[in-house]
Amino acid sequence: MRRRTFLAIGGAGVGAAALGGAWAATDTAPRGPGGGDAPEGGGPGSGRTPGEVPDVPAGRVETHRVASRARSAVPRLITMVPHGIGARQARELPVCVVLHPRDSSARGMVGLGMPQFLTAAVRSGVPPFALAAVDGGQDSYWHAIGRNDPQEMLLEELPGWLGEAGLGLPDDGVPRAALGISMGGYGSLVYARRRRTLDAVAVLSPALFRSWEAARTYGPFPDRRDWEGTEPLRHVDDLGIDAAGLGVWCGRQDPFHRAAREFAARSGAAVGEFTDGAHDPGYWRAVMPRALEFVGRRLAGDQ
Protein backbone atom coordinates (compact mmCIF):
# COMPACT_ATOMS: atom_id res chain seq x y z
CA MET A 1 0.00 0.00 0.00
CA ARG A 2 1.31 3.43 -0.93
CA ARG A 3 1.84 5.63 2.11
CA ARG A 4 1.10 9.34 1.71
CA THR A 5 1.56 12.10 4.27
CA PHE A 6 0.46 15.67 3.61
CA LEU A 7 2.05 18.59 5.40
CA ALA A 8 0.84 22.07 4.46
CA ILE A 9 3.57 24.56 5.23
CA GLY A 10 3.29 27.37 2.71
CA GLY A 11 -0.01 28.91 3.74
CA ALA A 12 0.96 29.15 7.41
CA GLY A 13 3.46 31.91 6.80
CA VAL A 14 6.58 29.83 7.38
CA GLY A 15 9.48 32.00 6.29
CA ALA A 16 12.22 30.98 3.91
CA ALA A 17 14.85 31.67 6.55
CA ALA A 18 13.25 29.19 8.92
CA LEU A 19 13.03 26.58 6.19
CA GLY A 20 16.51 27.21 4.91
CA GLY A 21 18.08 26.64 8.29
CA ALA A 22 16.84 23.07 8.41
CA TRP A 23 16.64 22.18 4.73
CA ALA A 24 20.01 22.91 3.21
CA ALA A 25 20.16 23.42 -0.56
CA THR A 26 23.84 22.64 -0.82
CA ASP A 27 26.11 20.98 -3.30
CA THR A 28 29.72 20.08 -2.63
CA ALA A 29 31.56 21.08 -5.80
CA PRO A 30 35.30 20.33 -5.97
CA ARG A 31 37.66 22.55 -7.90
CA GLY A 32 37.70 22.01 -11.63
CA PRO A 33 35.33 19.02 -12.14
CA GLY A 34 34.22 20.27 -15.54
CA GLY A 35 37.13 18.58 -17.22
CA GLY A 36 40.10 19.51 -15.06
CA ASP A 37 40.01 23.20 -15.96
CA ALA A 38 40.42 25.62 -13.09
CA PRO A 39 37.43 27.96 -12.98
CA GLU A 40 38.01 31.48 -14.18
CA GLY A 41 38.45 33.85 -11.26
CA GLY A 42 39.07 31.23 -8.58
CA GLY A 43 37.51 28.24 -6.85
CA PRO A 44 33.94 27.50 -5.87
CA GLY A 45 34.09 29.83 -2.89
CA SER A 46 34.83 32.99 -4.86
CA GLY A 47 32.53 35.34 -6.74
CA ARG A 48 29.56 34.69 -4.44
CA THR A 49 26.31 36.24 -5.58
CA PRO A 50 24.03 37.22 -2.66
CA GLY A 51 20.70 36.20 -4.13
CA GLU A 52 17.73 36.62 -1.82
CA VAL A 53 14.42 34.84 -1.42
CA PRO A 54 11.55 37.13 -2.50
CA ASP A 55 9.55 38.73 0.32
CA VAL A 56 6.26 37.21 -0.82
CA PRO A 57 4.09 34.45 0.68
CA ALA A 58 4.54 30.87 -0.36
CA GLY A 59 1.57 29.14 -1.88
CA ARG A 60 0.33 25.69 -0.94
CA VAL A 61 3.23 23.31 -0.30
CA GLU A 62 2.48 19.65 0.35
CA THR A 63 4.81 16.82 1.28
CA HIS A 64 3.93 13.31 0.14
CA ARG A 65 5.77 10.13 1.17
CA VAL A 66 5.58 7.76 -1.80
CA ALA A 67 6.76 4.19 -2.23
CA SER A 68 9.11 3.91 -5.22
CA ARG A 69 9.89 0.50 -6.63
CA ALA A 70 12.31 2.10 -9.07
CA ARG A 71 14.38 3.55 -6.23
CA SER A 72 13.74 0.79 -3.69
CA ALA A 73 12.94 3.60 -1.29
CA VAL A 74 10.22 5.83 0.12
CA PRO A 75 11.20 9.28 -1.17
CA ARG A 76 9.55 12.61 -0.49
CA LEU A 77 7.56 14.32 -3.22
CA ILE A 78 6.94 17.99 -2.48
CA THR A 79 4.43 19.87 -4.60
CA MET A 80 4.21 23.68 -4.79
CA VAL A 81 1.67 26.00 -6.36
CA PRO A 82 1.70 29.81 -6.45
CA HIS A 83 0.06 31.75 -3.63
CA GLY A 84 -3.62 32.40 -4.33
CA ILE A 85 -4.10 29.31 -6.51
CA GLY A 86 -6.79 26.98 -5.17
CA ALA A 87 -6.91 23.22 -5.51
CA ARG A 88 -9.38 23.30 -8.41
CA GLN A 89 -7.25 25.71 -10.45
CA ALA A 90 -4.07 23.85 -9.52
CA ARG A 91 -5.39 20.69 -11.17
CA GLU A 92 -5.18 22.42 -14.55
CA LEU A 93 -1.67 23.86 -14.19
CA PRO A 94 1.29 22.44 -16.11
CA VAL A 95 3.98 20.94 -13.89
CA CYS A 96 7.72 21.53 -13.83
CA VAL A 97 9.71 18.85 -12.01
CA VAL A 98 12.60 20.18 -9.90
CA LEU A 99 15.73 18.02 -9.55
CA HIS A 100 17.93 18.84 -6.58
CA PRO A 101 21.74 19.07 -6.42
CA ARG A 102 24.09 16.65 -4.72
CA ASP A 103 23.87 16.33 -0.93
CA SER A 104 20.40 17.84 -1.02
CA SER A 105 16.81 16.67 -1.35
CA ALA A 106 13.30 17.77 -2.27
CA ARG A 107 13.13 19.58 1.07
CA GLY A 108 16.28 21.44 0.12
CA MET A 109 14.43 23.01 -2.78
CA VAL A 110 11.86 24.41 -0.37
CA GLY A 111 14.71 25.72 1.75
CA LEU A 112 16.15 27.40 -1.31
CA GLY A 113 12.94 29.42 -1.53
CA MET A 114 11.28 27.79 -4.53
CA PRO A 115 7.71 28.37 -3.24
CA GLN A 116 8.38 32.10 -2.83
CA PHE A 117 10.18 32.36 -6.16
CA LEU A 118 7.18 30.70 -7.83
CA THR A 119 4.74 33.18 -6.30
CA ALA A 120 6.99 36.11 -7.26
CA ALA A 121 7.21 34.87 -10.85
CA VAL A 122 3.43 34.71 -11.20
CA ARG A 123 2.99 38.12 -9.59
CA SER A 124 5.43 39.54 -12.13
CA GLY A 125 3.23 38.35 -14.97
CA VAL A 126 4.49 34.84 -15.67
CA PRO A 127 1.60 32.44 -16.43
CA PRO A 128 1.05 30.17 -13.40
CA PHE A 129 2.41 26.66 -13.18
CA ALA A 130 3.23 24.14 -10.45
CA LEU A 131 6.51 22.75 -9.18
CA ALA A 132 7.20 19.21 -8.00
CA ALA A 133 10.46 18.30 -6.25
CA VAL A 134 11.29 14.68 -5.49
CA ASP A 135 14.16 12.93 -3.73
CA GLY A 136 16.61 11.41 -6.19
CA GLY A 137 19.41 10.29 -3.87
CA GLN A 138 22.33 12.17 -2.37
CA ASP A 139 24.90 11.33 -5.05
CA SER A 140 23.00 9.49 -7.78
CA TYR A 141 23.43 11.99 -10.63
CA TRP A 142 19.84 11.03 -11.30
CA HIS A 143 20.74 7.81 -13.08
CA ALA A 144 20.59 4.13 -12.21
CA ILE A 145 23.01 2.77 -9.62
CA GLY A 146 22.19 -0.79 -8.62
CA ARG A 147 18.57 -0.96 -7.47
CA ASN A 148 18.26 2.82 -7.31
CA ASP A 149 16.95 4.20 -10.64
CA PRO A 150 15.78 7.82 -10.29
CA GLN A 151 15.12 8.16 -14.03
CA GLU A 152 12.74 5.21 -13.99
CA MET A 153 11.01 6.84 -11.02
CA LEU A 154 10.59 10.11 -12.96
CA LEU A 155 9.38 8.42 -16.12
CA GLU A 156 7.11 5.69 -14.77
CA GLU A 157 6.06 6.59 -11.23
CA LEU A 158 6.01 10.38 -10.92
CA PRO A 159 3.04 10.97 -13.28
CA GLY A 160 0.82 8.72 -11.16
CA TRP A 161 1.89 10.41 -7.93
CA LEU A 162 1.20 13.86 -9.37
CA GLY A 163 -2.21 12.74 -10.59
CA GLU A 164 -3.07 11.46 -7.12
CA ALA A 165 -1.90 14.80 -5.70
CA GLY A 166 -4.28 16.61 -8.05
CA LEU A 167 -1.69 18.19 -10.31
CA GLY A 168 -1.07 18.13 -14.05
CA LEU A 169 -4.37 16.42 -14.80
CA PRO A 170 -4.67 17.66 -18.43
CA ASP A 171 -1.30 15.98 -19.08
CA ASP A 172 -2.08 12.79 -17.11
CA GLY A 173 0.37 13.92 -14.45
CA VAL A 174 3.32 14.02 -16.85
CA PRO A 175 5.57 17.05 -16.19
CA ARG A 176 6.00 19.36 -19.15
CA ALA A 177 9.22 20.98 -17.93
CA ALA A 178 12.25 20.30 -15.77
CA LEU A 179 14.48 22.57 -13.71
CA GLY A 180 17.69 21.14 -12.30
CA ILE A 181 20.54 22.46 -10.18
CA SER A 182 24.09 21.09 -10.44
CA MET A 183 23.66 17.30 -10.26
CA GLY A 184 19.98 17.97 -10.91
CA GLY A 185 20.94 19.83 -14.07
CA TYR A 186 22.68 16.70 -15.31
CA GLY A 187 19.58 14.68 -14.38
CA SER A 188 17.19 17.12 -16.05
CA LEU A 189 19.02 16.82 -19.35
CA VAL A 190 19.05 13.03 -19.12
CA TYR A 191 15.33 13.12 -18.30
CA ALA A 192 14.60 15.36 -21.29
CA ARG A 193 16.39 12.98 -23.64
CA ARG A 194 14.41 10.02 -22.31
CA ARG A 195 11.04 11.77 -21.98
CA ARG A 196 11.30 13.61 -25.33
CA THR A 197 8.11 15.63 -24.78
CA LEU A 198 9.27 18.47 -22.52
CA ASP A 199 8.53 22.06 -23.47
CA ALA A 200 11.30 23.55 -21.33
CA VAL A 201 14.45 22.57 -19.47
CA ALA A 202 16.28 25.08 -17.27
CA VAL A 203 19.62 24.06 -15.78
CA LEU A 204 21.50 26.06 -13.16
CA SER A 205 25.20 25.29 -12.64
CA PRO A 206 24.80 21.98 -14.49
CA ALA A 207 27.36 19.45 -13.28
CA LEU A 208 28.65 18.29 -16.66
CA PHE A 209 31.95 16.52 -17.32
CA ARG A 210 34.13 17.22 -20.32
CA SER A 211 36.27 14.10 -19.84
CA TRP A 212 36.10 10.61 -18.37
CA GLU A 213 38.97 11.52 -16.05
CA ALA A 214 36.84 14.20 -14.40
CA ALA A 215 33.70 12.05 -14.38
CA ARG A 216 35.31 9.09 -12.66
CA THR A 217 36.94 11.37 -10.08
CA TYR A 218 33.90 13.39 -9.08
CA GLY A 219 30.89 11.37 -10.24
CA PRO A 220 29.36 8.05 -9.15
CA PHE A 221 29.73 6.37 -12.55
CA PRO A 222 30.92 2.74 -12.31
CA ASP A 223 32.66 2.77 -15.68
CA ARG A 224 33.27 4.88 -18.77
CA ARG A 225 30.46 3.27 -20.76
CA ASP A 226 27.94 4.17 -18.06
CA TRP A 227 29.08 7.81 -18.06
CA GLU A 228 29.16 8.14 -21.84
CA GLY A 229 25.65 6.74 -22.06
CA THR A 230 24.24 9.58 -19.96
CA GLU A 231 26.63 12.55 -20.19
CA PRO A 232 24.70 15.41 -21.90
CA LEU A 233 27.86 16.75 -23.54
CA ARG A 234 28.06 13.43 -25.38
CA HIS A 235 24.51 13.74 -26.70
CA VAL A 236 24.09 17.37 -27.77
CA ASP A 237 22.69 16.24 -31.12
CA ASP A 238 19.98 14.15 -29.47
CA LEU A 239 18.74 16.02 -26.39
CA GLY A 240 15.07 15.20 -26.86
CA ILE A 241 14.09 18.88 -26.69
CA ASP A 242 14.18 21.75 -29.14
CA ALA A 243 16.95 24.28 -28.49
CA ALA A 244 14.29 26.98 -28.07
CA GLY A 245 13.18 25.23 -24.89
CA LEU A 246 16.63 24.99 -23.33
CA GLY A 247 18.09 27.51 -20.87
CA VAL A 248 21.52 27.37 -19.19
CA TRP A 249 22.73 29.51 -16.30
CA CYS A 250 26.18 29.19 -14.71
CA GLY A 251 28.44 31.54 -12.77
CA ARG A 252 31.84 32.46 -14.14
CA GLN A 253 33.49 31.41 -10.87
CA ASP A 254 31.79 28.01 -10.92
CA PRO A 255 34.02 24.96 -11.48
CA PHE A 256 31.50 23.75 -14.06
CA HIS A 257 31.50 27.05 -15.97
CA ARG A 258 33.50 25.94 -19.00
CA ALA A 259 31.55 22.71 -19.40
CA ALA A 260 28.25 24.60 -19.10
CA ARG A 261 29.33 27.22 -21.62
CA GLU A 262 30.42 24.50 -24.05
CA PHE A 263 27.09 22.74 -23.65
CA ALA A 264 25.10 25.93 -24.26
CA ALA A 265 27.10 26.72 -27.38
CA ARG A 266 26.99 23.25 -28.88
CA SER A 267 23.31 22.68 -28.11
CA GLY A 268 22.22 26.09 -29.39
CA ALA A 269 20.36 26.77 -26.14
CA ALA A 270 17.92 29.66 -26.38
CA VAL A 271 19.33 31.10 -23.16
CA GLY A 272 22.96 30.90 -22.10
CA GLU A 273 23.68 33.26 -19.20
CA PHE A 274 27.15 33.37 -17.68
CA THR A 275 27.58 36.15 -15.14
CA ASP A 276 29.62 36.47 -11.96
CA GLY A 277 28.73 33.78 -9.46
CA ALA A 278 29.92 30.65 -7.73
CA HIS A 279 28.51 27.16 -7.24
CA ASP A 280 26.32 28.01 -4.29
CA PRO A 281 22.73 28.81 -3.22
CA GLY A 282 23.39 32.54 -3.47
CA TYR A 283 23.97 32.28 -7.20
CA TRP A 284 21.02 29.92 -7.70
CA ARG A 285 18.72 32.36 -5.92
CA ALA A 286 20.09 35.24 -7.98
CA VAL A 287 19.21 33.62 -11.31
CA MET A 288 16.09 31.72 -10.22
CA PRO A 289 13.66 34.50 -11.25
CA ARG A 290 14.93 34.39 -14.83
CA ALA A 291 14.94 30.60 -14.93
CA LEU A 292 11.34 30.38 -13.70
CA GLU A 293 10.22 33.09 -16.10
CA PHE A 294 11.80 31.14 -18.96
CA VAL A 295 10.03 27.93 -17.89
CA GLY A 296 6.68 29.60 -17.30
CA ARG A 297 6.59 31.42 -20.62
CA ARG A 298 7.63 28.31 -22.50
CA LEU A 299 4.85 26.33 -20.82
CA ALA A 300 2.38 29.02 -21.83
CA GLY A 301 3.66 29.12 -25.40
CA ASP A 302 4.90 32.70 -25.02
CA GLN A 303 8.46 31.88 -26.16
Model confidence over 103-129: pLDDT tens digits? 999 999 999 999 999 999 999 999 999
Cβ 126 vs Cβ 292: under 8 Å = yes
Question: How many domains is the chain partitioned into structurally?
Answer: 1
Instruction: Name which of 115, 88, 245 is nearest 169 in CA terms.
Output: 88
CA distance 124 to 183: 29
Other C-beta atoms lying within 10 Å of the C-beta of residue 118: 31
Structural domain boundaries, residue 38: 16-299
Within-domain flag for 144: yes
Contact 22, 111 (CB under 8 A): yes
Other residues' Cβ atoms within 10 Å of the Cβ of residue 119: 23
Q: Is 37 helix (H, G, I), strand (E, B) or coil?
A: coil
Q: In this structure, is residue 1 part of a structural domain?
A: no
Cβ atoms of residues 181 and 286 within 8 Å: no
Residue 155 lies in a domain: yes
User: Would the CA dihedral through 65, 196, 303, 299 be positive or negative?
Assistant: negative
Q: What is the pLDDT of the chain when averaged over all its residues?
A: 88
Please indicate, yes or no, whether the overall pTM of this predicted structure exceeds 0.85: yes
| Residue 27 binned pLDDT confidence (cut-offs 50, 70, 90) | low
Statement: residue 157 has pLDDT above 50: yes
**Residue count of the chain:** 303
Residue 7 lies in a domain: no
In a domain, 237, yes or no: yes
Whether 163 is covered by a domain: the verdict is: yes
Task: Check residue 258 and give its pLDDT.
Answer: 98
* CATH number for the domain that contains residue 213: 3.40.50.1820
Q: Is residue 11 part of a domain?
A: no
pLDDT band at 303 (very low <50, low <70, confident <90, very high): confident
Task: Give the residue-averaged pLDDT of 207-226.
Answer: 95
Q: Is residue 114 part of a domain?
A: yes
| Span of 1-5, 132-136, 173-177, 189-193 with lowest mean pLDDT | 1-5
